[in-house]
Amino acid sequence: MTFSRVAIVGLGLLGGSIGLAMREHLPGVASAGWDADPAVRERARERGLVATIADDPAEAVRGADLVILCVPVGAMAQAAHAVAPGLSPDCLVSDVGSSKQGVAGALEQALPNHAIIPAHPVAGTEQSGPDAGFSSLFHHRWCILTPPAHAEAAQVDALAAFWRALGATVEVMEPAHHDLVLAVTSHIPHLIAYTIVGTASDLEEVTRSEVIKYSAGGFRDFTRIAASDPTMWRDVFLHNRDAVLAMLGRFTADLDAMTSAIREGDGQAMHDLFSRTRAIRRGILAMGQDDARPDFGRGDHDERQGDEAEPPPQS
């Protein structure tokens, strides 16, 4: 099973990058797209993000055998209802959302008569909008598929092949496990980044620019993550609430333990933790998931590669 016509709903960073990657890697596959914002549709036409830009969501998906919803997770149900009148009976519907249990439920409720296989390309940047997309976004990145138990194997294989063609490494995972893993590796780090940058912003008024002026690399990296799309991340936290709260509780307990170690002058506890986390960092480098060069090699890489753009180990 292969796809001959793919429709992309939502033409921002991820949707636009899928379209550009298809043009580069799957030139024989027809592409169409739609976005709720007329200005985005116009810019998508100018950039040629997909071959055909429709002004109606149902028209955009008509004749497609794969439809990918590239909208914030909170807008998935609305997008699904919008495209429903144009969907072919045998069309496969997927998405790119960062939380999977809530998305799967919303799509199954909105489209009860269509095959749905949620997906999450773990790739992104702090940029958003139709000008943010680029064709290499998915190169050497993970794409996690979370098919329901009743999904047809041929459709799962076809969707996996599609993402591999765009340069991604594909993993299949249970939706609940995905949400727990991503809460640790992506959602909590974003929450910490938003919070610490907000704290610094409050202090900025007190310290008369010193916080910003003398920010070292660590704070700079937090600001990059905290510049991510606010609507998308608001929806992620709301729709992956249980997993985020569970991991946030664990993190808070660990932070309390470190607070006690500092208060009590327990240098051994601090050293043990720092040594363990340093070993984890070395393990990440050994697996090829980051760059060991100074400044993470950013001087030699596209600055658009962001927090969810870590390269997976190469096979």
Q: What is the pLDDT of residue 187?
A: 82
Q: Which of the pair, 140 or 83, is modelled with greater confidence? A: 83
Q: Which of the pair, 272 or 57, is modelled with greater confidence? A: 57
Average pLDDT value for the chain: 85
For helices 230-239 and 241-264, what crossing angle results, to 10°? Answer: 90
User: What burial class does residue 235 get, using C-beta atoms within 10 Å of its C-beta: 0-12 exposed, 13-18 middle, 19+ buried?
Assistant: buried
Q: How far apart are CA 203 and CA 209, in angstroms?
A: 9
Q: Is the Cβ–Cβ distance between 8 and 68 less than 8 Å?
A: yes
Residue 245 located in a structural domain = yes
Residue 87 lies in domain? 5-173
Say if residue 8's pLDDT is above 70.
yes
Domain of 161, CATH number, reads: 3.40.50.720
Confidence of residue 117 (pLDDT cuts 50, 70, 90): very high
Domain of 237, CATH number, reads: 1.10.3660.10
Confidence of residue 288 (pLDDT cuts 50, 70, 90): low
Q: What is the pLDDT of residue 161?
A: 97
The Cα angle at residue 38 between residues 32 and 40, in degrees rounded to 5: 70
Confidence of residue 36 (pLDDT cuts 50, 70, 90): very high
Structure tokens belonging to residue 65? 């055998």
**Residues 205, 136 share a domain:** no
Helix residue ranges, H only, the chain: 13-25, 38-47, 57-61, 76-83, 101-110, 153-165, 175-182, 188-207, 210-213, 217-226, 230-239, 241-264, 267-286
**Residues 202, 228 share a domain:** yes
304-313 mean pLDDT: 39
pLDDT tens string 253-272: 989 998 999 999 999 988 88
Say if residue 146's pLDDT is above 90.
yes
Say if residue 312's pLDDT is above 50.
no
Residue 124 located in a structural domain = yes
Residue 214 located in a structural domain = yes
Q: What is the pLDDT of residue 306?
A: 40
What's the farthest any 2 CA atoms get from each other in the chain? Answer: 67
**Residues 124, 223 share a domain:** no
Q: Is the Cβ–Cβ distance between 116 and 107 less than 8 Å?
A: yes
